[in-house]
Chains A and B, each alone.
Chain A
């Protein structure tokens, strides 16, 4: 096999020793030292984790805060929707509805038909100079 060939070739070239050594009697001393280092009571009863009241309710508090946030967001979107409709729609805006029903208001402020040429005449009459535009 190819691997074996190279393996043998390498073993012939450099051998199977890497030249590393240890102090005399190291392994037997290590075993004795390790024996004395090991704690006798490896079986330690696992203490039940003490949880504070806050730690117990924290997940529920976070959940409640999340729902409250979503509710607030929905409320905000709703108000924004109602607000924009209220400005333009007399159906939902009582101030606008009352103004529309007032004839004086309509006569003074509401122009039923604005002619563009009349508007331009008014502008020229009030001193508009198109060369200065």
Chain B
């Protein structure tokens, strides 16, 4: 990874190195974005923006932070900005975001699963933004708290609390349902 970072910083090799970055990070970044915005087409557009921004700002990436952290930060910012724009476009408040996302989940064509999966997505979508981010990274991507902490700029303790609340809410929902 250090070698890749060095190649990215060298103008002679940066283009080739960035192609490698795209191949390495397309999938994890896509799922991170998709789990926030719920729709494949939106996730696709946002992922393009993420790589475009990363490429145009590659000089500002000094290598002090991890490449993964830097890319995840861009992806999360893009996702949250997109959701904010959608809320404004549809005239919905932050509290109504869950129902906005529930509609998106209902209309999503790219699904492979039963109603339980759909319901899980809706329950996750109803979580506060921070809890949703932490839950997605921890539960689905099995990321370490330390890595999540670097990406979100939140202490490990706070992240653990967020994850605990998120898991509790989801367990409670499905326990009551069954």
* Chain A proximity mask over B85-126: 1 for CB below 8 Å, otherwise 0: 000000000000000000000001011111011101100100
Q: How large is the interface on A (under 10, 10 to 19, 20 to 34, 35 or more residues)?
A: 20 to 34
* Chain B proximity mask over A22-36: 1 for CB below 8 Å, otherwise 0: 110001001100110
Of all chain A residues, which has the CB nearest B113?
A19
The reply to whether B47 and A30 contact each other, CB–CB distance below 8 Å, is yes
Given the interface pairs A17-B117, A19-B114, A40-B15, the reply to whether A3 lies near B167 with Cβ below 8 Å is yes
The reply to whether B26 and A22 contact each other, CB–CB distance below 8 Å, is no
- B129 near A: Cβ within 8 Å? no
User: B interface, by DSSP: helix, strand, loop or mixed?
Assistant: helix
B-to-A contact residues, CB < 8 Å: 11, 14-15, 18-19, 22-23, 26-27, 30-31, 34-35, 40, 44, 47-48, 51-52, 55-56, 58-59, 108, 110-114, 116-118, 120-121, 124, 139-140, 160, 163-164, 167-168, 170-171, 174-175, 178
Given the interface pairs A18-B35, A18-B120, A21-B111, the reply to whether A35 lies near B22 with Cβ below 8 Å is yes
Compute how far the CA of A58 lies from the CA of B162 in the bound complex, rounded to whole angstroms: 51
Query: Separation in Å of the A21 CB from the closest CB of chain B?
Result: 4
Chain A residues within an 8 Å CB radius of B163? 3
Chain A residues within an 8 Å CB radius of B111? 19-21
- A53 near B: Cβ within 8 Å? no
Compute how far the CA of A21 lies from the CA of B110 in the bound complex, rounded to whole angstroms: 5
- A117 near B: Cβ within 8 Å? no
Interface stretch of the complex, out of A7-15, A60-68, A98-106, A121-129: A7-15
Compute how far the CA of A9 lies from the CA of B117 in the bound complex, rounded to whole angstroms: 16
Compute how far the CA of A3 lies from the CA of B135 in the bound complex, rounded to whole angstroms: 12
Q: A19-B111, A22-B40, A34-B26 are in contact. List 11 more A-B contacts (CB 8 A).
A: A10-B170, A16-B139, A16-B140, A27-B27, A30-B26, A30-B30, A30-B47, A31-B22, A34-B48, A37-B48, A38-B18
Query: Separation in Å of the A92 CB from the closest CB of chain B?
Result: 66
- A2 near B: Cβ within 8 Å? yes
The reply to whether B118 and A19 contact each other, CB–CB distance below 8 Å, is yes
Compute how far the CA of A20 lies from the CA of B43 in the bound complex, rounded to whole angstroms: 12
Compute how far the CA of A10 lies from the CA of B167 in the bound complex, rounded to whole angstroms: 7
Given the interface pairs A6-B168, A30-B47, A38-B18, the reply to whether A18 lies near B26 with Cβ below 8 Å is no
Contact among A9, A20, A40 for B35, CB-based, below 8 A: A20
Of the A-B pairs whose beta carbons lie under 8 Å apart in the complex, a sample of 14, sorted by A's number, is A3-B167, A10-B139, A14-B116, A18-B140, A19-B120, A21-B110, A30-B26, A30-B44, A31-B19, A38-B18, A38-B55, A39-B55, A40-B15, A43-B59
